[in-house]
A and B are shown apart, each in its own frame.
Chain A
Amino acid sequence: MFNKEYEAMPVDKLKKLQYERLKWSLTHAYNNNPFYKKKFDAAGFHPDKFKSLADMKHVPFLYKQDMRDNYPFGLFAVPMSKVVRVHSSSGTTGNATVVGYTKNDVGVFAEVVARSLAAYGATENDVVQVAYGYGLFTGGLGLHYGAEKLGAMTVPISGGNTERQLMLIKDFGTTIMACTPSYMLNIADYIEKKRPDYNMRATRLRAGVLGAEPWSENMRKEIESRLGIEAFDIYGLSEVIGPGVSTECSEKSGLHVFEDHFYVEIIDPETGEILPEGEKGEIVYTSLTKEAFPTIRYRSKDITRLYRDSCKCGRTLIKMEKVTGRSDDMMIIRGVNVFPSQIESVLMEIEGTEPHYQIILDRKAALDDIEVKVEVNEKLFSDEVKVLNDLSKRIGDRMRSALGISAKITLVEPMTIPRSEGKAVRVIDKRKI
């Protein structure tokens, strides 16, 4: 454990710490940021009224739109001279969100990432290859500073250039790759197609620190079996701090939230009501220590549930389930709630199918129409039409029985679905247009 004092703190002590820090954070936001002051006043809430954690329900939510409306620095709560770094979402004008960090904030960011890496068993003896994009995106610099803080040798290669990634894994003795899960699979594909001579199992690579997009247990199995590494989930969002809000430990069952820095709640996304521990809903974040950009009850849109178990790793921190969908990714197809990750699971069950797929929603004759495009790789391909038709039929049947939706399955050529070295575009919803 990187910081046992906080990661293994008795729960009652932790809750007391959270209360004290929340009080500070709410007061800081209220006193130092006009937007928060206005918002709190309008909701009839004042930080002085915050007497216990139960009072959180009176604090108004922060939405992505609030961040856009206050572009670029309207949500900062320190003088600009105290801001040492900014990150930004990739949105275009009117869409972008900007987050800021003081020196202390950068320190907290590095700390939670270092803790995450340590949770997978990483030490200063490891070589961490950071293949997240460096730049305005929090992934690259976040992992970089965290790996350095841990004392590991950090390889700032950034994303893309798979041939070079493979070369450095081999030449530098990389033990841990940090990238998106889809890029990790991309690497497996690349080796299979272009470098059959490259044996990942003969390198020192032993783990992947994968995040920045939702991924399934099946995808974990595929990455682990194809590359001979362990795949761990690191979770975060730039609005809260970046990667390192929560992390899996060696148990790979749920992600520990670093509760000494982030307060989490699960709410019903429709009503905003706080749900009891253990129920599934939208996770809402409040920063406890951040100075430049206080995040107060941020509506993440990520769907998960929270629970406390006695984890074998020794951490007392609350766990969140692997995020498998977002409330705004949730598709309502003819009245059925479907997450892209469920479709991915079905595809993975069909032997040999990798999750290169795309969902296209349309409305025909007032009825929702769903098409799932699946790339045909060589494992699936046959010279016989009946075999390919049977494949489409099997996928369609499985989707009907597992998800209750009838989808048109279209087999498409490899590399025709935009696949990213960053995030994959899984759903195209033409119904909104």
Chain B
Amino acid sequence: MNVTQLSVFIENKPGHLQNVLKILGEKNINIVTLTIAETSDFGILRMIVNDPEGGVRALRESHVTCSTNDVLAVEIDDKPGSLYKAIDTFARRKLNIEYMYAFTEKRGDKAVMIFRFDDIDAAKKAMTEEGYSIVSKIDIMGA
């Protein structure tokens, strides 16, 4: 099982991000981590939330364009050099990362990297072979 990411289209204008957050907040959707990719006109808000399906429902009701897709969540040690090591695996196997972001777990010694790949299965296989633990349920951790 992969982690489901919720992505939202927002115009790069004051108040637009706020509107999305308001909708999610009102429906009790908790955001574990997020990242925004921005262009001059628009941005894409990508989030890991405790209830992606509920998020999609709430946003659609308010005519907000959104989608969900699978991302790879990998647990790494929260210490210098560990991200380098993880990425090295992908580089050696020529797996291209579309984008990535991270959060640290509450208990403190681990971080979770969220990776977006075109070929998520190949990336998953690579990480498993290198002994990384793949996170499949974010909600029990950060939420």
Contacts and interface: CB of A to CB of B under 8 A. Distances in A.
Nearest to B68: A383
Given A378-B65, A383-B5, A384-B98, A413 B11 contact: yes
Interface in A376-400: 376-378, 381-385, 388-389
B9 interface: yes
Contacts, number: 55
A413 B44 contact: no
B67 A382 contact: yes
A412 B11 contact: yes
B12 to A, nearest CB: 10
A354 to B, nearest CB: 12
B64 A414 contact: yes
A382 B118 CA distance: 12
A383 B46 contact: yes
A383 B117 CA distance: 11
A416 interface: yes
Contact of A381 (B37, B66, B98, B116): B66
A377 B59 CA distance: 12
Nearest to A414: B63
B44 A411 contact: no
B128 interface: no
Nearest to B63: A415
B137 interface: no
Contacts of A193: 60, 63
B85 to A, nearest CB: 26
Interface residues of B, number: 23
Contacts of B63: 193, 413-415
Contact of B65 (A381, A384, A410): A381
B54 to A, nearest CB: 16
A410 B11 CA distance: 10
B65 A385 contact: no
Nearest to B10: A413
A370 to B, nearest CB: 15
Interface of B: 5, 7, 9-11, 16, 37, 39, 41-42, 44, 46, 60-61, 63-67, 69, 98-99, 116
Interface of A: 193-194, 376-378, 381-385, 388-389, 410-416
Given A378-B67, A383-B44, A413-B65, 8 more contacts: A383-B67, A383-B69, A384-B98, A385-B39, A388-B9, A388-B44, A410-B41, A414-B64
27 contacts: A193-B60, A193-B63, A376-B9, A378-B65, A378-B66, A378-B67, A382-B44, A383-B5, A383-B7, A383-B44, A383-B46, A384-B44, A385-B39, A388-B39, A388-B42, A389-B39, A410-B41, A412-B42, A413-B9, A413-B11, A413-B16, A413-B63, A413-B65, A414-B63, A414-B65, A415-B63, A416-B11
